[in-house]
Chain A
């Protein structure tokens, strides 16, 4: 086993046995975690492929734990086999991979895995590897919120572009391998940063070609871009290298402010931002339609121009047809009167109000909000049906990954406990003391009422008169 596996601290489980590594998120059942650890101990030249196939066979009969994030990495016939399930993501040194849609599952082979990063979906990339990082897993199972698979440093004289024995390490078969003497666990220290490569590395089958200079083009001991960070660009690190293949080259053709920016230049030998960064010079996005222009309501769908996707509620219309809460006398959109005795009509529900967090952030309640330390792990957020409010717990408090929810029903907003151990608390406007919600209990929020999760406080402000 030659590669270095850095375990990232946090909830979950990381296991490694020989050439196979797995990560299981905290949402996995104990049985699934045990199964993954057991499966990871199965070795073979194509152990990664075989494990993926066995899981796919199970999933084709039905997914018993669709929200359980886990990842399996092991040698395969076409490189390094990678199997992702649930809300998990992997950085393969060129892109983030995740099941689509999330959650779901995916199986693929990657040819250029260093660094290979496994993280919960939506989690921030870890900082660059540090020398002497103590979280190097050689064999066994330990707690961890993910892992980073690093290529061990290879003396340039030993580097070879030739094929290697399949299954000799977590490296892809045929890819560059460490030379003699580097086959065992690497000693701590002397580890280059993510992506740092010595010169003269060969290419693995199916991988993205690398010429002289190698991936990251870093000098030994230097640092290369962190996960998600700017990549060495064409022309800087040798022929044949194309790392951000999905992005257009540089900003050729850019106009105006972009035009002053030169083409993306070489990065050889440089150090990149710590903590992760993205290169915006070659940013591209799928073509999106222009934002709509505001228009007057039409009789058939008074507020459809603004809130087409929201559930319908009963309300009243102002003189111009704007849809309002049944209690208002003045339109909240145009300020014109709502005729007394207006008959109730159906319309899409506007936002219920805003949440003001104790850090000054303001959240419109256009959709349900999931509050927690990792709200992106909630299925509703992944499905786009809710917005995440990520908050860190206050000192001496605990914030669950998915702690509480604020949702609208009719014209009212409700606080819902999501079963967090730390408890969800409610304090009505003008009242003293906090009331703890029972597990999964919900409580209607009134204007000015407070929510407390993990020692943090949010205030609800209604968009409508009491």
Chain B
């Protein structure tokens, strides 16, 4: 792991993820605000000529301020693993994410974490932005404020960086988001609020059943996986207990009009499911 991203000194890796590394770093003195740790996500790799597009994507997202979104600091381009990448920093101290949840995180807590991410998505939607990368990786579990908070266990969640997709960048880049969380309608160029809702359903499906809604998709070569998503729009749902099966099956409806109208509605239903779990 590199020791530095731009002038952020990396102190640890929140999640060793090969697609979107999430790092903990010292807050550069020039930013002020004390020595509270910050979180850096390394998005990319990205061709340098795409920086303008990445910036055009990130700034409107950062302008949406909501408690279910990170407190963004900066974004830029830096070398990472000998390639130019886009990085994003936030003052929010992230302790992990749902891709590898802490062992002690029970199912109700996981559902509440996804509900928090859904509320973050809703905030984006209400400001005209789609996230387009909702998956277990992007449900960031937030520590309780201090640098040692990771040991205390996560207490809440935010929706971490969006996909850089906005028509000026690819839908997915090297597995972010993984194919199993991409709404087939998005692949058809018909994404929107409903595609994030589909991804929320897929994330809950994974949390509950341990797999994405298209069984075996992860094992397929990318070309075949994409072909399958394009040609078989209906997912195959695993067994889920009552509290969540209804909301998941609705989120994953082939027809966007059959899905819950808003991500906020999904959040409310997940919270309700968590309380009944």
Contacts and interface: CB of A to CB of B under 8 A. Distances in A.
A334 B254 contact: yes
B28 interface: yes
Contacts of B262: 293
Interface of B: 6-8, 28-34, 45, 47-53, 55, 58-60, 62-63, 65-79, 84, 88, 90-92, 125-130, 158, 167-168, 170-175, 185-194, 222-223, 226-227, 230-231, 233-234, 254-259, 261-262
Given A273-B78, A333-B255, A361-B174, A122 B49 contact: yes
B32 A274 contact: no
Contacts of A1: none
Given A354-B226, A361-B170, A257 B76 contact: no
Given A272-B30, A275-B76, A277-B75, A390 B59 contact: no
B123 to A, nearest CB: 9
A367 B234 CA distance: 25
Contact of B190 (A277, A278, A306, A335): A306
A459 interface: yes
B47 A390 contact: yes
Given A265-B31, A267-B31, A333 B168 contact: no
A229 interface: yes
23 contacts: A124-B49, A125-B51, A230-B30, A254-B65, A257-B71, A258-B65, A262-B33, A270-B29, A273-B74, A277-B74, A280-B74, A283-B59, A283-B60, A291-B192, A294-B193, A307-B189, A332-B233, A333-B256, A359-B174, A364-B186, A365-B189, A388-B50, A462-B230
B188 A292 contact: no
Contact of B193 (A251, A254, A260, A292): A292
A270 B192 contact: no
Interface of A: 122-125, 228-230, 251, 254-262, 264-267, 269-281, 283-285, 287-297, 306-307, 320, 322, 332-335, 350-351, 353-354, 356-357, 359-367, 373-376, 387-392, 447-448, 459, 461-463, 465
B75 A280 contact: yes
- Say what secondary structure dominates the interface of chain A: loop
Given A259-B71, A280-B59, 15 more contacts: A255-B67, A257-B68, A257-B91, A261-B33, A265-B31, A272-B6, A276-B77, A280-B88, A296-B257, A351-B188, A356-B223, A361-B172, A364-B189, A364-B191, A365-B189
Contacts of A320: 255
A288 B60 contact: yes
Contacts of B63: 283-285
